[in-house]
Structure 1
Amino acid sequence: MRIIRRGAALAAATTVLLGLTAPLALASSALAAPARGDLGWGACPSDPPDGRQRCAELSVPLDHARPDGPSISLAVSRIATARPELRRGVLVLIPGGPGGSGLNGPSSAAKRLPQSVLDRYDLIGFDPRGVGASTPLDCGFDHADLARSHALPWPAPDGGIDANLATARRMAADCATGGGALARGISTRAEARDVDRIRQALGERRISIWGVSYGTYAGAVYAAMFPGRTDRVLLDSNDDPDPARVERGWLAAYATGAEDRFPDFAAWASSPAAGEYRLGDTPEQVRAAYLAAAERLDGAPLPWPGANPERLDGNALRSAMLDSLYADARFPRFAGLVQAAEGRRPLPAPDSAPEAAVRNGLSVSLATLCNDVAWPRDPASYAAAVAADRAAHPLTAGMPVNVTPCAFWPWRPAEPPVPITPAGPSNVLLVQNLRDPATPYSGALKLRAAFGDRARMVAVDSGGHDAYLANGNACGDALVTEFLTTGRRPARDAFCPKAG
């Protein structure tokens, strides 16, 4: 592995970054009567889905501890309320990921939010540092490393991790050389500080937040770092904030999340509702069919032109399984892949996304994961963990505890993770599905406990990722809408039964 000295990498990248935007002088962090900001709203970099959405650029320090040093650009967006007389403030939409784009978040939210919410807030979106239309990060990963079966570290069919170790070393080295100072400067703490710069630029004393998935952690960190600058904080599909593990724990939680959620798929795929995609007569038969198909593909992959890699092997099927559990609408496609492995139907056209966007998102994701918390460095510890996890959770085959590029990351975290505590105003509402494959209910309970009386939780008897306005649960949606429009939360944690 080629080691790049930290100072050399920073200097090389700084040379580039200095040409991107002039340094920004830090505005005062005090909350004394800010004037209404004017970001110079104009056209967005590409046509947004909603024509009302306007965009702007905001310069922020690459390193907030060096406000007069190099700066980078954040792309920010807004859909202003159509009822200024009812306006309460701004609702900042913090995207998931890490590495997800949020610039078109206002356009997406405006399609779903009730009018009562739209009347009360300007919707604010942004691409986090390193993402999309903001100063972008590109570690220069090879095409093969963009495959989901590489980006998520699925071990070999026999449980071996030698190939994962080689991939992890290579990708960490890519970020050291290709990502440089920007790769070093991405973290959840930095994102929270960026959000506060957005608040200042908007001229708002306080902001309301709607964070989804990873955005729940970023939102929780903001609420912990700047508690007096929060109005209403909605966290949807919640991450475990354990400061000793943070993202390490999130990856490991896929094993629990898949076991929580797979029964929903198995029930559907063994019912008449599945139609031509039915995989068995009982949920147990469906589970067995998936495991057998993955094992069959381990030994005899199917050619799949246009996919990355261009074959459906066991790990590609496992990746598709995990992806399908995010939403019921994805069930038929995954069932079709199992049937293709059984020789019952042809493979569908592969899903594909622009490679540059995939590389960018993966670069930012890894930078965040690796800079937020230290990861174990001993390969033997990963091999042992994979062996145990494969036995305990065959659906995910050891992937959630396998080695990542963070084991070989060239930098150590610059700051410790932010502890989430009860200190601050009681203005946080968590909403959470009971069977979420990516952010399991068990982890959400830990965030709820960490906030103490700052928070209430609305638990929804539903499966999949994303809760508010995502599953047709009128009870859960009504409680969240009430909070956003009036600030009222349930007196105690609430439970919403399955819709219908």
Structure 2
Amino acid sequence: MAAVVVACLTVAVAPAAPASGATLAWRSCPGVDDRRLRCATVQVPLDHARPAGPTIDITISRLPATDPALRRGVLVTTGGGPGGAGVPEPLNLAAVVDPAVLARYDIVGFDMRFVERSTPITCGQPEEEPGGYWVRTATYQSLADTAAQARAYARACARHAGWALPFATTAQAARDMDTIRTALGERKLSFLGGSYAAMLGVAYGTLFPHRADRFVLDSPVNYDLAWRPYELARIPAFEENYAAFTGYLADNSATFGLGATPTEVAATLSRAFAGAATEPIVAGDHAWTAGELGSLTVIATYFEHLWPVVATDLAAILAHRPPPIPLDPRPAPLPGTPGVPADNHTAVNTAFRCGDDAWPRDPATYRRDLARLGTRYPVFGPSIANLNPCAFWPVSRDNTPPLAGNRAPAALVVAALRDASVPPANSIATARAITGSRLVTVDRRTHAPVLNGPADTCLTGAVTAYLVHGHLPEHDTAC
């Protein structure tokens, strides 16, 4: 493991900052039992281009700094996705960062606009899509059928949430962050977010560089590629990690019984998925669809350390037994979170991915992509390259400020070298675009390694040195 080298700088110790948000009405957080975390409501414009127009409510949460005498300011975080809840994130972040970070920052989370506690939207569906992500696989149905389903979904979203869709963009959410900063009475904010949340941090730095303090961007999506080019570019990494997972299953064939070679395992899983596309696999009290099995398998492509869990569950399901280590294939709010529509996470994920940029409208484009990528990458190409509701979205324009316009202070950018969800090229591009930034990498098959682990002392040390002392590594660092 490479040691973390930090610049030898003399940093003046600033006086302790006062507690933020003194004028906000703090209360218990819906769905969160930990009394240390308190919530408040911040009103933001529905459209920041019309600050005097209609407003929506954003729920924020705060975990106070553990040492008020050392308090430096706020460290903002939120969920990934897009569509993940951010209110509980301060507690999750507190479990992975060094105590010295917790001493110096109020950790502030927020449910992004239209998510769960923050004026939630619905597309009128009875349940979430597996993984909270609308996707169909060309292997199991025609492009015409997929187009019909995608068009119907887009129309339902317009019918149920048309008032919100033009304003479901990462740039609008970044402007919400600045309104939150103002409500907290903070001159600047620091930030730590992973995956899509890291891309949101990039958007904030582009729009408000003078308000950005210390930003840790854990596996940020390349903002210039959001979303269709990014989706297509990550197909090879998905395929590579899936192949590694089938190798693991083959190496442990005596335990899981899915095949003695990677080819046998892949054939077993392919037959099971195809069968489930016609008739779900009943395992206990749940009938597993092909989409749910695919979502479970995606977990394995994201996190090598969860291979034993996913493998155990897959083996049980294919044997028509209840999975012994249940992994819910569909996102859900924490128990006790009221008023969240049944399909909220999928609705938000689709709205932001479709709303950030214009997607191809011509089905022929998707047909060509499927022909090109579906054969070369037969497991994930037929789904990731396929047509989706964005082809029929009622809002179709570029809402993404260019990454080249980012003038934020230097950030700490983190990547896992074998991340399928956000391949490292995304983090490399982000680090190069934000002048003076440093890239810290870990050679692991995982996603957003700061937040999702496994823990790495080299990586944690770099994050701590930066957030606590403002020290970036002198050079890009391989942990």
The TM-score, its normalising length taken from structure 1, stands at 0.83
Superposed, 1:453-464 pairs within 5 Å as 453-464=435-446
* Residues 60 and 73 in structure 1, CA contact (< 8 A), matched pair in contact too: yes
Residue 56 of structure 2 corresponds to 72
Deviates more, 1:252-261 or 1:476-485: 252-261
Shift of 1:142: 4.2
Q: What amino acid sits opposite 1:362 in the alignment?
A: T
Residue 100 of structure 1 corresponds to 84
Residue 81 of structure 1 corresponds to 65
Residue 184 of structure 1 corresponds to 166
Following the alignment from structure 1 to structure 2, what is the Cα–Cα distance between the partners of residues 218 and 281? 43
Shift of 1:34: 12
* Residues 133 and 350 in structure 2, CA contact (< 8 A), matched pair in contact too: no
Please, which of 34, 37, 42 is the counterpart of residue 58 of structure 1? Answer: 42
Please, which of 196, 201, 221 is the counterpart of residue 219 of structure 1? Answer: 201
SS at match of 1:435: coil
Following the alignment from structure 1 to structure 2, what is the Cα–Cα distance between the partners of residues 206 and 114? 22
Please, which of 366, 384, 392 is the counterpart of residue 376 of structure 2? Answer: 392
Residue 302 of structure 2 corresponds to 326
Residue 369 of structure 1 corresponds to 353
Superposed, 1:226-237 pairs within 5 Å as 226-237=208-219
Please, which of 183, 204, 207 is the counterpart of residue 186 of structure 2? Answer: 204
Deviates more, 1:387-396 or 1:329-338: 329-338
Please, which of 207, 227, 239 is the counterpart of residue 259 of structure 1? Answer: 239
Shift of 1:194: 0.3
SS at match of 2:117: coil
SS at match of 2:440: strand
Shift of 1:384: 2.0
Following the alignment from structure 1 to structure 2, what is the Cα–Cα distance between the partners of residues 97 and 333? 22
Q: What amino acid sits opposite 1:420 in the alignment?
A: L
Following the alignment from structure 2 to structure 1, what is the Cα–Cα distance between the partners of residues 405 and 50? 30
SS at match of 2:416: strand
SS at match of 1:412: coil
* Residues 29 and 61 in structure 2, CA contact (< 8 A), matched pair in contact too: no
Q: Percent identity?
A: 34
Residue 429 of structure 1 corresponds to 412
SS at match of 2:44: strand
* Residues 219 and 416 in structure 2, CA contact (< 8 A), matched pair in contact too: yes
Residue 302 of structure 1 corresponds to 281
Pair 152,337 (structure 1): closer, same or farther in 2 beyond 3 Å: farther
| Matched positions, count | 453
Shift of 1:445: 2.2
**Cα deviation code 1:246-284 (max 9, x no counterpart):** 121333244123124224423432345x86236444545
* Residues 237 and 465 in structure 1, CA contact (< 8 A), matched pair in contact too: yes
Following the alignment from structure 2 to structure 1, what is the Cα–Cα distance between the partners of residues 285 and 429? 41
Pair 102,466 (structure 1): closer, same or farther in 2 beyond 3 Å: same
Following the alignment from structure 1 to structure 2, what is the Cα–Cα distance between the partners of residues 322 and 70? 39
Following the alignment from structure 2 to structure 1, what is the Cα–Cα distance between the partners of residues 232 and 23? 41
> Is 2:286 aligned against 1:335?
no
> Is 2:147 aligned against 1:165?
yes
Residue 456 of structure 2 corresponds to 473
Following the alignment from structure 1 to structure 2, what is the Cα–Cα distance between the partners of residues 96 and 240? 14
Following the alignment from structure 1 to structure 2, what is the Cα–Cα distance between the partners of residues 160 and 40? 53
Please, which of 465, 468, 477 is the counterpart of residue 485 of structure 1? Answer: 468
Following the alignment from structure 1 to structure 2, what is the Cα–Cα distance between the partners of residues 431 and 484? 14
Pair 141,117 (structure 1): closer, same or farther in 2 beyond 3 Å: same
Pair 36,322 (structure 1): closer, same or farther in 2 beyond 3 Å: closer
How well do the aligned residues superpose, as a CA RMSD in angstroms? Answer: 2.8
Residue 16 of structure 1 corresponds to none
Q: What amino acid sits opposite 1:456 in the alignment?
A: R
* Residues 76 and 192 in structure 2, CA contact (< 8 A), matched pair in contact too: yes
Shift of 1:463: 1.1
Residue 290 of structure 1 corresponds to 269
Shift of 1:76: 0.6
* Residues 192 and 219 in structure 1, CA contact (< 8 A), matched pair in contact too: yes
SS at match of 2:62: strand
SS at match of 1:208: strand
Deviates more, 1:467-476 or 1:245-254: 245-254
**Cα deviation code 1:153-190 (max 9, x no counterpart):** 22243562222111111111111110021222211010
Pair 442,50 (structure 1): closer, same or farther in 2 beyond 3 Å: same
Pair 363,345 (structure 1): closer, same or farther in 2 beyond 3 Å: closer
Please, which of 253, 257, 269 is the counterpart of residue 249 of structure 2? Answer: 269
Deviates more, 1:206-215 or 1:416-425: 416-425
Following the alignment from structure 1 to structure 2, what is the Cα–Cα distance between the partners of residues 485 and 121? 9
Following the alignment from structure 2 to structure 1, what is the Cα–Cα distance between the partners of residues 78 and 229? 21
Q: What amino acid sits opposite 2:167 in the alignment?
A: G
Residue 194 of structure 1 corresponds to 176
* Residues 137 and 183 in structure 1, CA contact (< 8 A), matched pair in contact too: no
The TM-score, its normalising length taken from structure 2, stands at 0.86
Following the alignment from structure 2 to structure 1, what is the Cα–Cα distance between the partners of residues 463 and 36? 25
Following the alignment from structure 1 to structure 2, what is the Cα–Cα distance between the partners of residues 306 and 184? 40
Pair 360,298 (structure 1): closer, same or farther in 2 beyond 3 Å: closer
Deviates more, 1:481-490 or 1:289-298: 289-298
